[in-house]
Amino acid sequence: MRKDIEDWIRLHLLPGVGPIRFLNLIKHFGSPGEALKAGVRELSSVVNIDKTTAEKIVSEREKVKVEGELKQVEKLGGDIICFLDDEYPELLKNIAHPPPILYIMGDIDLNQRMVAIVGTRTPTVYGRTMTREIARGVAESGLVVVSGLARGIDTEAHKGALEGGQTVAVLGSGIANIYPAENRVIVERIVENGAVISEFPVYAKPERGHFPRRNRVISGLSLGVVVTEAPVGSGALITANHALNQGREVMALPGSVMGGKSGGTHMLIKEGAYLVEDADDVLECLGLERQGEVDREEKIPTSLDENGLKIFNLLKVDEPMHIDDIIRETGLSSSIISSALLEMELSGFIIQTGGLMYMRARH
């Protein structure tokens, strides 16, 4: 971390100082430390800092406690990247109102080529399956998949990426407050094969207003955004809009016209988004080539015991099977089956398509 990291954190935690004012202060004074020394009159001369805000900065700056913030980041094995650091991603630095600070868990170069994959929190089996397949193919090609760790499409994007390479999860909460809670297990895998990042203080709750801000970071890190399944009004379309404003490519996967789950993606395509059907289409849109041939031989999870292999061999690609049917067909107990299914899902061998339905992952 920077030697003056406490000044960065202190300014970051001050009430009323968001990304815009923070960076205006840095531009005016040269560093957070100099900004924190300034009086009301000097602060009031900064763009977008009125007298009331300046007075609040002066009165609150000594009250802000940064030690706990830094200790928690250290406890989590994390790091903090500041706007002026070499590690700060260049693409993100050049958007309107970039976050001045990024909290990060994981060890990854954020200046790698990245592609965002986003969509609805309540996807269909088709949406889950195609998202995972596209994410895996994109990751296998050497790109990092970025998404928002939300339920549904985001989670499938992360899972698919982990099957083929690396992924970055951008949070709408602090890194010590993983949301949704059920994704804590996958977060552990993401930290090992990518990164979890947030612009929000370490203990920040997943407040409603945080997610549009998170979405601009998702698109800001990326060369382009793929929306795989989203109805009209989906938050994923906010990410697509950010991408357009940031000069990024916007891509969309067509889906069924029934039910409305793909209404948003179809709207994007009508408005000029690049239609994609697989990872190769994503690469084509970005003007990139797949890095080498990918081995598509079926993977057999040899680490599984006899019961686990019995379950795996029962499942098929593109034919989801309910857990009750698996119990009936195998004659195994629900505890054995649940444990084996979880192990295979975390290893990327199977996909849970929703409603306790499982099928083999496509490899």
90 three-state secondary structure: helix
Tell me what pLDDT residue 224 has: 98
pLDDT at res. 306: 87
Exposure string of 170-199, with b = 16+ CB inside 10 Å and e = fewer, is: bbbbbbbbbbeeebeebbebbbebbbbbbb
Q: What are the structural domains, with CATH classification, of the chain?
A: 1-65 (1.10.150.20), 106-286 (3.40.50.450), 306-360 (1.10.10.10)
Res 305: pLDDT: 83
End-to-end CA distance of the chain: 40
- Beta-bridge partners for 307: none
pLDDT of residue 177: 96
At 147 the three-state DSSP class reads strand
> Can you tell me the distance from the alpha carbon of 105 to that of 198, in angstroms, rounded to the nearest whole number?
9
What's 22's DSSP letter? H
> 0.75 exceeded by the pTM?
yes
Confidence (pLDDT) at 361: 77
Backbone φ and ψ for 15, nearest 5 degrees, come out as -65, 135
Long-range contacts of 66-71 (CB under 8 A, 24+ apart): 66/6, 66/9, 66/10, 66/13, 69/9, 69/13, 69/201, 69/202, 70/5, 70/6, 70/9
pLDDT value at residue 295? 52
DSSP string, 153-204: HHHHHHHHHHHHS-EEEE-SS-TTS-SSGGGHHHHHHHHHTEEEEESS-TT-
Give the H or E element holding residue 244.
helix 236-245
Cis peptide before 180 (omega within 30 of 0): yes
* Sheet (strand 144-147) strand order: 79-82, 101-106, 194-198, 167-170, 144-147, 114-119, 224-229, 249-252, 274-275
Spell out the per-residue pLDDT of the chain, length 363, in tens. 789 999 999 999 998 899 999 999 999 999 999 999 999 999 999 999 999 999 999 999 999 999 999 999 999 999 999 999 999 999 999 999 999 999 999 999 999 999 999 999 999 989 998 999 999 999 999 999 999 999 999 999 999 999 999 999 999 999 999 999 999 999 999 999 999 999 999 999 999 999 999 999 999 999 999 999 999 999 999 999 999 999 999 999 999 998 899 999 999 999 999 999 999 999 999 999 876 555 545 556 666 788 888 999 999 887 889 999 999 999 999 999 998 898 888 777 888 877 788 988 766
- Cα 71 from chain centroid (whole Å): 24
* pLDDT given at position 307: 87
Per the CB < 8 A criterion, the answer to whether 88 and 188 are in contact is no
Judging by beta carbons within 10 Å of its beta carbon (0-12, 13-18, 19+), is residue 24 exposed, middle or buried? middle
SS3 118: strand
